[in-house]
Amino acid sequence: MAVYTEVSDEELEAFLSAYDLGQVLACKGIAEGVENSNYFLQTTAGAFILTLYEKRVREEDLPFFLGLMEHLSARGLTCPQPVRNRAGHALGRLAGRPAAIVTFLTGVSVRRPNARHCHAVGRALAQLHEAGADFGMRRANGLSLQSWRPLFAQAEAAADQVAPGLAERTRRELAYLEARWPEGLPIGVIHADLFTDNVFFIGEEVSGLIDFYFACTDLLAYDLAICLNAWCFEPDGSFNLTKGRAMIVGYERIRPLNDAEAEVLPILCRGSALRFMLTRLVDWLNVPPGALVKPKDPLEYDRKLAFHRHVRNAAEYGLER
């Protein structure tokens, strides 16, 4: 929730002059996305989002992200569609930053999803996986298993200041997951960050998915595990089995899990909970003075991990066979 980069009138005008978007009717910084600067851009040609990529997004990854959004849009998934300028480029530079224009999606994110929302998200996630199946580019998941130990190393010494015992719990969890992380499951394009902020609804229908800046090539079922963590826990920390079931049913309507994926779903849920706990923990311990963004609580995911450690099989998330 921040606009980091201010764009001057002259810079904006020069940037837009390369596009066929007509006259600018409005351009406002919006509080969306914590990683980049986003502007709502209205022109005589329609409504768009102008994004300036800040330093947390690696410039060499942008062709993957923009190419993916273009691919998914072409396959009928409602996601932001990159707009190419007259020279055919979707990626340009503005105010010293890489920048792109994508179509504006209507819809609102829900902060407290119900089971019908979870069902719709499961379905949309599987549609994304299906639509991404023939996407030609690959990007390794920089925040999967192999990154967790180095991430933890940045936070280990101070972890117990955040919660007593957190360091030891995390060491054990890491060792457990490193010994059991699955291989041979179906892989493909995953969103990898499909939190409630990143799904728009009109009523209870999904109207669009946004923020593909963690998308990568990884285990498809891991993406479902991320969503189970992000959508199906209650504010009090309890797992809502009705929501989990609704999400998994929605997902399997489009793409049924195979037996191997079903078998390891608890491991994948633990892994994705650890991933968000660790990145949040590192951010929590490194809030710069005067930061614009309040860091998210790592302990929310420490508590989710505690739940997952007691799960024996995927039925406890709502998978029915």
Question: Does residue number 14 form part of the binding site for its own copies (CB under 8 A)?
Answer: no
Question: Does residue number 23 form part of the binding site for its own copies (CB under 8 A)?
Answer: yes
Min separation Cβ 166 and its own copies, Å: 24
Asked whether 145 and 273 are in contact (CB, 8 A), the reply is no
For residues 128-187, which are near its own copies according to CB under 8 A?
none
Min separation Cβ 104 and its own copies, Å: 8
Torsion, Cα of 97, 101, 102, 108 (10° steps): 70
Question: Does residue number 311 form part of the binding site for its own copies (CB under 8 A)?
Answer: no
Question: Does residue number 202 form part of the binding site for its own copies (CB under 8 A)?
Answer: yes
What is the DSSP pairing of strand 37-43 with strand 46-52?
antiparallel
Min separation Cβ 31 and its own copies, Å: 3
> In 17-130, which ranges are E strands?
24-30, 37-43, 46-52, 91-94, 97-103
Question: Does residue number 315 form part of the binding site for its own copies (CB under 8 A)?
Answer: no
Asked whether 225 and 268 are in contact (CB, 8 A), the reply is yes
Write each residue from 27 to 56 as x if it is in contact with its own copies (CB under 8 A), else as -, in one continuous string: xxxxxx-------x-x--------------
Q: How many helical (H) and strand (E) elements, i.e. helices and strands, does the chain have?
A: 9, 9
Min separation Cβ 284 and its own copies, Å: 15
For residues 57-116, which are near its own copies according to CB under 8 A?
104, 106-108, 110-112
Give 21's contacts (C-beta < 8 A, 6+ positions apart): 41, 43, 44, 45, 46, 48, 83, 101
Name the residue with tokens 């999400």: 247
Residues that bind its own copies (CB under 8 A): 1, 3, 8-10, 23-32, 40, 42, 104, 106-108, 110-112, 200, 202-203, 290-292
